[in-house]
Structures are given as C-alpha cells and as structure tokens.
Amino acid sequence: MFRKYVAVLTILMFEYTTALVLHKPPIIHTNHPYLNIKENSRAGTEFVIIDASSQTNDTVTITTHDNATAARVFLFPTRLGINSTYRVALKKIPDREDERTWYLTFKAHDNHGDTSWTLPLHIDDENDNAPLFAHDHYHSVVGYGLAVGSKILHVTAMDADEGPNAAIKLLHEPLPCFISLVKIQCF
C-alpha cells in the first residue's frame, strides 16, 4: 500500500513540474512607464524598441494586441528567436487636440503563452492651431463723454492648443480715422 501512494505522489509531482514549464509565457524586458512624442510627428518615426525573451527556448513574436494599437503603429522585427527585438514606428500622425495619450498594447507570444504590455504614449502639444474669435463680428456703440480707459467692447478668442502654446495676445492697430482694429498674434 505504501508503494501505491509513492507512485501516485511521484506522478502528481511530475505533472506539477511539467505544468510549471508549459505555462511560462515570454518576458517583455522593455519597461517604460510611459513615453512622450511630439504632436504631428511624421509617420515612420521610431519611438521605442521592444525586447522579449522566451522562458522555454521558443521563438518569440511580438504583435499589437488590439485594433486601436494596430491602427497607430508599425512593428518591425530586427531580431527573431528566443530573444526577439522589434522597433515600433508611427503609422498615424498624433494630434493632441484629438487625443492627449495613446495607450498602445503589445503582446509577446511563444508556444507556452502570451504576455501583454501597455505603453502610455503622451502626445506633447505643438503650437499648430491659430486662435479663433468666439464670434465673427463684434459691434459696439460708444457714447459721448465716456471716460478714457472705459471698457467699450469685450472680445473673446480661443486657442485649441494647450499651455504656453495657447497664449493669445491682442494687439490694437490704429487706422487713419483713429479707430482701433483688434488683431490676434500668436507666439
């Protein structure tokens, strides 16, 4: 009876250790918490290298994990095997006014499993939008005897850019008839 238990215990231990080897997915060694890229960077701009290795001596492939990532980036293999390396380049031109951050998810795969990695790609704002007036026309009537420095017109302009790129400066250009015309100047 003792031999029967030893045999069962041995078989269970063999199955357990085999399961540990069979379920070891690849390891992604690239570990950026996030990256930044300039708005309007050209398609084809490379911005990260992904390295992955197999724990079970299989060939590792890296792919995009979802359709959103696949629509935004290209993957170029530079080394394939137990240790694989891929370069990631832009397919879509980033526009901060559309999205501030892209969450790119990649998957490393071998015969023993998958490992996913998500890279937040922050898009840095570029001064690429002209300011816009809130209204096409402004009209004001100024009464006689109004004190110098009195407010006679409120003009509003907006810029889709952010931070210092959204700064708007209003300039007055006097005309020959002493009426001031407002002009927007971007920095």
- Cα angle 122-124-125, degrees, rounded to a multiple of 5: 135
- List every span in the chain annotated with CATH 2.60.40.60: 14-124
pLDDT for 154 equals 83
H or E stretch covering 4: helix 2-22
pLDDT at 163: 74
Contact criterion met (CB below 8 Å) for 69 and 105? yes
Check: pTM over 0.75? Answer yes or no. Answer: no
Q: Along the 187 residues of the chain, how does pLDDT read in single tens digits?
A: 555 555 554 554 545 554 455 679 999 999 899 999 999 999 999 999 999 999 999 999 999 999 999 999 999 999 999 999 999 999 999 999 899 999 999 999 999 999 999 999 999 988 777 777 888 888 788 888 888 888 888 888 777 777 777 777 777 666 555 445 555 555 4
User: Is beta strand 27-28 parallel, antiparallel or unpaired with respect to 83-90?
Assistant: unpaired
Q: What pLDDT, on the 0 to 100 scale, is given for residue 187?
A: 46
- d(CA 151, CA 42) in angstroms, rounded, equals 46
Choices 2.60.40.60, 3.40.50.10330, 3.30.470.20, 3.40.50.2000: CATH for 14-124? 2.60.40.60
Q: Could you tell me if 54 and 60 are in contact, meaning their C-beta atoms sit under 8 angstroms apart? A: yes
Rounded distance between C-alpha atoms, residue 63 and residue 61, angstroms: 7
> How far is CA 49 from each of CA 87, 119, 173, rounded to the nearest angstrom?
5, 12, 52
Contacts of 62 (CB under 8 A, 6+ apart): 28, 50, 52, 75, 77, 84, 86, 106, 107, 108, 109
DSSP state of 100: S
